């Protein structure tokens, strides 16, 4: 009988994408897969790809659990703070029920392994109750994960919480060098995940992330979508702290080796992809287009949108800009009429796309990014120069590969 792996991502686009890639790679190597989305994201997935996208593949099934938040059909990323708090309080019972139903089902093998996102530590309780080994997958860089692991040390050393809001803007974050963090030379407090910029010791996001990294030691193995040549010193530090840490990336390059076309075609995007941008790129010269995408969570102010818009216009370069429906706070992303006239003929703007296809396109010569880890490792793998506008969480930790 086939081994059966249950994979469950944290319910956000940047976490679903690498977990689903791993699921497809494992399936191509003979493992039965159950992929678990929240009900909210499962519905978005079907709207984006059609009902056939979650059925019809042998030994690969999609299941759901509730996220504990009020029902919604909004086609946008949920509030991260509310989602973390709800999953911590409500995630375990439905996941226990799911594992039990899978083990009792005559239609699939008993569950032999759980591969959980590192931000879903309630799954460890389920794994221990059913005596199933669990692999913990942190979807950040190794640097990002290691920084999360050291937040508790900021608390112990009385560096966090901040003593006043003024410390966010008065240079304090630059002045505090953390020379006690192994594997991270010259790291400052500013370089730590942005959640720590608070005076509130009960901050939901900081405490949620401290809980997840604390629980990581309970997993049989920790895996990361990176490779040793890229983050060698940090990976060595992690391997001193945890028994088993494996680098398994870049996953999207391993995904290229999958031979089953139906398996390979399973998409992970929660928004419908607009393929017209590929046709537009086909008409551009080699290395002539700047690709602009701020990911699935970043929210711009209307003023920031205009600053980026006119900066791109004044560059006199061709550019492809992904402007998802919820990119701008408040109203939808609306640019003035004169802007469309200014960039006519050298700009393409769509709501969402297949980023890997775009980055691999010969006409793309650069990438303006929010520095999310998926985007960073995608860009590195294609050898593209990147302009980085770090926005959120561990996206301030950018690997220097010049050495």
Task: State the pLDDT at residue 214.
Answer: 95
Quote the tokens at residue 151. Answer: 């937040």
Q: What is the pTM of this model?
A: 0.93
Residue count of the chain, please give it: 403
**What's 142's DSSP letter?**
H
CA nearest to 34, candidates 142, 109, 138: 109
β-partners of residue 349 are 321
**What's 394's DSSP letter?**
G
Residues forming the active site = 15, 117
Q: How far is CA 120 from CA 47, 54, 64, 84, 210, in A?
A: 25, 22, 14, 9, 12
Task: State the pLDDT at residue 333.
Answer: 62
Task: State the pLDDT at residue 398.
Answer: 46
Task: State the pLDDT at residue 77.
Answer: 87
Task: State the pLDDT at residue 76.
Answer: 84
Identify the residue whose tokens are 């940047």.
14
β-partners of residue 8 are 116
Residues of the chain with confidence (pLDDT) below 50: 394-403
């Amino acid at each position: 009988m086939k081994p059966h792996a249950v994979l469950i991502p944290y319910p956000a686009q940047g976490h679903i994408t690498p977990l689903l890639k791993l699921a497809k790679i494992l399936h191509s190597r003979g493992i039965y897969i159950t992929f678990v989305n929240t009900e909210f994201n499962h519905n978005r997935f079907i709207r984006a790809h059609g009902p056939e996208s979650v059925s019809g593949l042998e030994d690969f099934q999609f299941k759901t659990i509730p996220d504990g938040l009020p029902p919604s059909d909004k086609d946008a990323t949920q509030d991260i703070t509310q989602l973390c708090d709800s999953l911590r309080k409500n995630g375990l019972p439905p996941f226990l029920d799911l594992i039990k139903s899978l083990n009792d089902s005559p239609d699939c093998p008993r569950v032999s392994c759980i591969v959980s996102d590192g931000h879903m530590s309630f799954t460890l309780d389920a794994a221990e109750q059913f005596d199933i080994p669990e692999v913990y997958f942190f979807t950040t860089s190794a640097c990002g994960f290691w920084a999360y692991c050291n937040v508790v040390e900021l608390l112990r050393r009385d560096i966090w919480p901040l003593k006043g809001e003024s410390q966010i803007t008065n240079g304090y974050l630059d002045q505090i060098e953390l020379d006690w963090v192994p594997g991270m030379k010259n790291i400052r407090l500013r370089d730590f995940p942005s959640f720590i910029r608070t005076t509130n010791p009960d901050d939901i996001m900081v405490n949620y992330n401290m809980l997840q990294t604390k629980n990581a030691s309970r997993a049989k193995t920790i895996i990361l979508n990176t490779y040793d040549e890229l983050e060698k010193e940090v990976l060595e530090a992690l391997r001193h702290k945890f028994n088993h840490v494996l680098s398994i990336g870049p996953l999207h390059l391993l995904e290229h080796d999958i031979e089953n076309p139906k398996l390979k075609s399973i998409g992970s995007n929660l928004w419908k992809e607009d393929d017209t941008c590929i046709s537009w790129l086909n008409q551009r010269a080699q290395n002539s287009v700047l690709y602009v995408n701020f990911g699935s969570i970043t929210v711009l102010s209307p003023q920031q949108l205009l600053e980026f818009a006119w900066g791109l216009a004044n560059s006199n370069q061709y550019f492809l800009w992904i402007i998802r429906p919820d990119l701008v706070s408040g109203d939808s992303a609306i640019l003035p009429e004169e802007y469309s006239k200014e960039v006519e003929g050298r700009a393409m703007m769509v709501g969402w796309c297949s980023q890997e296809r775009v980055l691999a396109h010969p006409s793309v010569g650069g990438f303006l990014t929010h520095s999310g880890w998926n985007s960073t490792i995608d860009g590195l793998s294609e050898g593209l120069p990147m302009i980085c506008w770090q926005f959120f969480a561990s996206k301030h930790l950018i690997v220097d590969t010049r050495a």
